[in-house]
Amino acid sequence: MQELVNRAKELLANGTVQRVLGWKAGDMAYNPEPSYFESEADLSEFVYDAFCGANLSKYMIEASKKEGKTLVFLKPCDSYSFNQLLKEHRVDRDKAYIIGVGCKGKLDIEKIKKEGIKGIESISGIGMEDACDTLKIGTLYGDKECSYQDVMLERCHVCKGKDHVVFDETLLESRDTVDSERFHEVEKIEKMSPEEKFQFFQKELSKCIRCNACRNVCPACSCRKCVFDSTKFDSAQKANVDPFQEKMFHIIRAFHVAGRCTDCGECSRVCPQGIRLHLFNRKFIKDINEFYGDYTAGEDINQEAPLTHFEFSDREPNEERG
Amino acid sequence: MYQIAKNDLPALFRKISETKELYLPVRVADQVNFAAYTEDADVSLETLKTVKSPKDAFFPQSETLYTCHKEENKLSITPEELQNQEFVVFGIKACDVKGIEVLDKVFLSEPVDTFYKARRDHGILVALACNEPEESCFCKAFGIDCTDPKADVATWLVGDFLYWNPLTEKGAALTDAVKELFAEADDSAVQKQQETTKAIVEKLPYMDLSLEGWNGDVLTEKFDSPLWEELYQPCLACGTCTFVCPTCQCYDIKDYTTGSGVQRYRCWDSCMYSDFTMMAHGNNRTSQMQRFRQRFMHKLVYFPANNDGMYSCVGCGRCVEKCPSALNIVKVVKAFQKEGGDK
């Protein structure tokens, strides 16, 4: 981690960048927060460990409006989001100095707690120099252990890979974390009967409290004013008044980010009710792959996007699915 | 004090729900929240914190106030019926009980909120003491004893038994209705558990959190602090903190078009949202920094200023656990403390 701090100091000192966007150590083992660092002294609080799951690309929309360059640390998957934002002209490449930072899989504190581990005082084994096999957790109720792999964020089990798609330089090695098939969960849902599907989503979405965390964290949701916030239309919604509205928000959002969602998994990471929101987006990704050929949003900014590009050979929308 | 074997709790729940609606922590799709009891409900009393606080029982996230219906040229208005049946909230923790006390200050002072009052009048609170507080808990900073909740009935889960102690008339009446399931007990087991839990509370990481410097008289000083500009930066402007909070009480009133009329409802609002308290002239908080500041100023300055020094935070720690950017009231308090100390 010190390499990152040292490099950030250099780039600040030689005037390449005016600020650094990274993660600041929290007051617990697992709660670092996204943060700007303006000086060498600020960087004493910089941290990069297994709990730095937050994707910083979306912060670059605001950072692009600031004076001078911002050094931003992007994990391989975050770089897809940045690229997609670039393609949509929402971030300014010239305002960003990107250090592609290695990743060994990020951890999900909710999963650790689900293992019955509570009263967490310390967690070791979360540093980039650690082996990523076992976490040793000191708690108010005695010392506990759990497997690193078991408590990774869902997205890391289906990681897109160790390569950054956009960067100025890279630092630290990544680790292969894949141990699941990306579309496995989607296929399971596809096999359900319409009634079962309805039940499944009803149960998941009725937990929604409309906090908008999924939308606000989503790099694909970059509208200046969301239709659900607009007071100019009847579309503004602050609460799910009925079961229809519970679903409407999420389904409209899924449609809106279809073809642009890089499957960064932030929506599921931040949902306070643990709704597996990525399943919607992943279903769209799977369908798009099947209809128009494999496509990964954010991978290549020069590639035509399947839903905004037409070719005569494109399949008709009602083909097969009716 | 009474006791009932843990194994007999389903019988207790059944008995209560024969005559009253019963809300308690229930696991649905892997998350525990307060919900109505049913025979097949996956009740989870071991869960320390439900995702949402139980404030919904008195102040639902969304509730209809009245309905307008138009038929030809005739317009009829039907007010929503007020709560008129008794109901029980079982398993509410000491911090959340205090949260309801905060809501009372808002909704029961003049002009009294009739919807809220009807629910408070008919609601019976059966609190459950905490046995294993977690690292995000800081109720002690607000003078709350998590081992000794003050509600209509206080209960403790110790070993194989639930201990039950009625504290109010409402609590005594509920006790009478289910007494046949109870045996008399002394409080030695409870006292022992309380001692154990208190020893853990002393070791909690936020145990020493000091609210010194936060009161109703520091409005200008805190409001004008340059710290807010720094602190708000990672905030995503979502409403998670406000919606999981047991004391956040702001709401909006909206109309839902039914086609032949309008359903006027109110729903929770969040100071984090861009149209919060928007008026005809526009919005009086135009930046996220201002909206972020509002939340903490309300809890630690404005509310105590208007309510004899009472804070509108109870230290439940839900925001600590749920904020997507790992921001929270503890970090804010600590940041101000550090700034003060550095001077």
Query: Hey, are the CB atoms on B243 and A211 less than 8 Å from each other?
Result: yes
Query: Hey, are the CB atoms on B269 and A238 less than 8 Å from each other?
Result: yes
Whole-number percent of chain B with pLDDT over 90: 91
Q: Which of B207, B211, B206 is nearest to B222 (CA)?
A: B211
- On whether both A104 and A193 belong to a single domain, the answer is no
User: For the segment A71-92, what is each residue's pLDDT rounded down to a tens digit?
Assistant: 999 999 999 999 999 999 999 9
Mean pLDDT in residue range A50-69: 97
- On whether both B178 and B228 belong to a single domain, the answer is no
Q: Is B231 helix (H, G, I), strand (E, B) or coil?
A: helix
Question: What mean pLDDT, rounded, does chain A reach?
Answer: 94
- On whether both B142 and B268 belong to a single domain, the answer is no
What total of structural domains would you count in chain A?
2
Mutual orientation of helices B9-19 and B169-178 as an angle, nearest 10°? 110
Assembly ipTM: 0.94
User: For the segment B214-245, what is each residue's pLDDT rounded down to a tens digit?
Assistant: 999 999 999 999 999 999 999 999 999 999 99
- On whether both B187 and B277 belong to a single domain, the answer is no
In a domain, A299, yes or no: no
In a domain, A74, yes or no: yes
User: For the segment A190-206, what is each residue's pLDDT rounded down to a tens digit?
Assistant: 999 999 999 999 999 99
In a domain, B212, yes or no: no
Q: Which residues in chain A have their CB less than 8 angstroms from residue B229's CB?
A: none
- On whether both A165 and A199 belong to a single domain, the answer is no
- On whether both B188 and B223 belong to a single domain, the answer is no
Could you tell me which residues are beta bridge partners of residue A19? A70
Query: Hey, are the CB atoms on A273 and B273 less than 8 Å from each other?
Result: no
What total of structural domains would you count in chain B?
2
- On whether both B183 and B282 belong to a single domain, the answer is no
Instruction: Read off the pTM.
Output: 0.94
In a domain, B230, yes or no: yes
Chain A: nearest CA to B304, how far in angstroms?
A: 26
Q: Which residues in chain A have their CB less than 8 angstroms from residue B133's CB?
A: 119, 140
Q: How confident is the model at residue B343, as a pLDDT? A: 43
- On whether both A27 and A150 belong to a single domain, the answer is yes
- On whether both A155 and A252 belong to a single domain, the answer is no
Q: Which residues in chain B have their CB less than 8 angstroms from residue A272's CB?
A: 51, 240, 243-244, 322
When mean pLDDT is compared over A123-132, A248-257, B96-105, the highest value belongs to B96-105
A-facing residues of B in 238-297 (CB < 8 A) are: 238-240, 242-244, 252, 254, 256-257, 263, 265, 267-270, 273-275, 278
Q: Is B143 on the interface with A (CB under 8 A)?
A: no
Q: Is the pLDDT of residue A56 over 70?
A: yes
Q: Is B130 on the interface with A (CB under 8 A)?
A: no
In a domain, B210, yes or no: no
Q: Minimal Cα distance from A22: which residue of B?
A: B234
Beta-carbon count within 10 A of A300 CB: 13
- On whether both B196 and B230 belong to a single domain, the answer is no
Whole-number percent of chain A with pLDDT over 90: 86
CA angle B277, B283, B288 (to 5 degrees): 90
CA dist A34 and A55 (Å) reads: 9
Q: Where are the alpha helices (DSSP H) in B108-157?
A: 114-122
CA dist A298 and A312 (Å) reads: 24
In a domain, A179, yes or no: no
Q: Minimal Cα distance from B325: which residue of A?
A: A33
Cα distances (Å, whole numbers) of residue B105 to A80, A142, B100, B151: 49, 40, 9, 16
Q: Which of A306, A198, A207, A316 is nearest to A261 (CA)?
A: A306
- On whether both B330 and B285 belong to a single domain, the answer is yes
- On whether both A165 and A194 belong to a single domain, the answer is no
A-facing residues of B in 229-248 (CB < 8 A) are: 233-234, 236-240, 242-244
Q: Minimal Cα distance from A38: which residue of B?
A: B230
Query: Hey, are the CB atoms on A274 and B30 less than 8 Å from each other?
Result: yes
Q: Minimal Cα distance from B272: which residue of A?
A: A211
Strands A19-24 and A33-37: antiparallel
Q: Is B225 helix (H, G, I), strand (E, B) or coil?
A: coil
- On whether both A238 and A126 belong to a single domain, the answer is no
- At A319, the pLDDT band (50, 70, 90 cuts) reads low
Q: Which of B296, B331, B318 is nearest to A24 (CA)?
A: B331
Q: Which of B156, B176, B203 is the last residue of a domain?
A: B203
Q: Minimal Cα distance from A120: which residue of B?
A: B135
Chain A: nearest CA to B244, how far in angstroms?
A: 8
DSSP string over B29-65 = TTEEEEEE--TT--B-TT-SS-SS-GGGGTS-SEEEE
Nearest to B28 among A31, A203, A210 (CB): A203
Which of A33, A39, A230 is the best mutation test for B, with the most CBs of B within 10 A? A33
Sign of the CA dihedral B15, B17, B23, B27?
positive
Chain A: nearest CA to B297, how far in angstroms?
A: 21
CA dist B341 and B343 (Å) reads: 6
Chain B: nearest CA to A93, how far in angstroms?
A: 21
CA dist B315 and B146 (Å) reads: 11
Strands A19-24 and A70-74: parallel
Q: Which of B150, B175, B203 is the last residue of a domain?
A: B203
A-facing residues of B in 184-203 (CB < 8 A) are: 200, 203
- On whether both B158 and B252 belong to a single domain, the answer is no
Q: Which residues in chain B have their CB less than 8 angstroms from residue A121's CB?
A: 135, 205
Q: Is the pLDDT of residue B296 over 80?
A: yes
- Report which of residues B282 and B318 the model is more confident about: B318
Q: Give me the total of CB pairs closer than 8 Å, taking one residue from chain A and one from chain B.
A: 135
- On whether both A40 and A61 belong to a single domain, the answer is yes
Contact B117, B83 (CB under 8 A): no
In a domain, A243, yes or no: yes
- On whether both B189 and B238 belong to a single domain, the answer is no
- Report which of residues A245 and A155 the model is more confident about: A155
In a domain, B268, yes or no: yes
Q: Is B331 on the interface with A (CB under 8 A)?
A: yes
Q: To which H or E segment does residue A197 belong?
A: helix A194-205
Q: How confident is the model at residue A78, as a pLDDT? A: 98
Where are the extended beta strands (E) located within B258-304?
Answer: 261-268
- On whether both B224 and B175 belong to a single domain, the answer is no
Chain A: nearest CA to B302, how far in angstroms?
A: 24
- On whether both A156 and A239 belong to a single domain, the answer is no
- On whether both A192 and A122 belong to a single domain, the answer is no
Q: How confident is the model at residue A240, as a pLDDT? A: 79
Which of A31, A47, A217, A226 is the best mutation test for B, with the most CBs of B within 10 A? A31
- On whether both B46 and B195 belong to a single domain, the answer is yes
In a domain, B269, yes or no: yes
- On whether both B199 and B235 belong to a single domain, the answer is no
Q: Which residues in chain B have their CB less than 8 angstroms from residue A239's CB?
A: 61-62, 265, 267-268
- Report which of residues B255 and B119 the model is more confident about: B119
Whole-number percent of chain A with pLDDT over 70: 98
User: For the segment B240-276, what is each residue's pLDDT rounded down to a tens digit?
Assistant: 999 999 999 999 998 888 888 999 999 999 999 988 8
Query: Hey, are the CB atoms on A217 and B31 less than 8 Å from each other?
Result: no
In a domain, A315, yes or no: no
- On whether both A24 and A164 belong to a single domain, the answer is yes
In a domain, A319, yes or no: no
In a domain, B214, yes or no: no
Q: Which residues in chain A have their CB less than 8 angstroms from residue B327's CB?
A: 33
User: For the segment B189-201, what is each residue's pLDDT rounded down to a tens digit?
Assistant: 999 999 999 999 9
Query: Hey, are the CB atoms on B267 and A26 less than 8 Å from each other?
Result: no
Cα distances (Å, whole numbers) of residue B273 to A65, A176, A210, B283: 22, 39, 11, 11
Nearest to B334 among A27, A121, A231 (CB): A27
Cα distances (Å, whole numbers) of residue B65 to B10, B251, B287: 35, 13, 31
Q: Which of B203, B231, B263 is the last residue of a domain?
A: B203
Mean pLDDT in residue range B37-47: 96
Look up the domain containing B51 and give its range.
2-203
User: For the segment B159-173, what is each residue's pLDDT rounded down to a tens digit?
Assistant: 999 999 999 999 999
In a domain, B88, yes or no: yes
Q: Which residues in chain A have their CB less than 8 angstroms from residue B274's CB?
A: 225, 229
Q: Which residues in chain A have their CB less than 8 angstroms from residue B253's CB?
A: none
Chain B: nearest CA to A53, how far in angstroms?
A: 10
Contact B314, B295 (CB under 8 A): no
In a domain, A41, yes or no: yes
- On whether both A17 and A151 belong to a single domain, the answer is yes
Chain A: nearest CA to B133, how far in angstroms?
A: 7
Backbone angles phi, psi at A70, to 5 degrees: -115, 130
Q: Minimal Cα distance from B61: which residue of A?
A: A239
Mean pLDDT in residue range A49-69: 97
Look up the domain containing A233 and give its range.
184-292
Radius of gyration of chain B (CA): 22
In a domain, A73, yes or no: yes
User: For the segment A153-182, what is each residue's pLDDT rounded down to a tens digit?
Assistant: 999 999 999 999 999 999 999 999 999 999
CA dist B275 and B162 (Å) reads: 46
Strands B251-257 and B21-28: unpaired
- On whether both A133 and A263 belong to a single domain, the answer is no
Q: How confident is the model at residue A322, as a pLDDT? A: 43
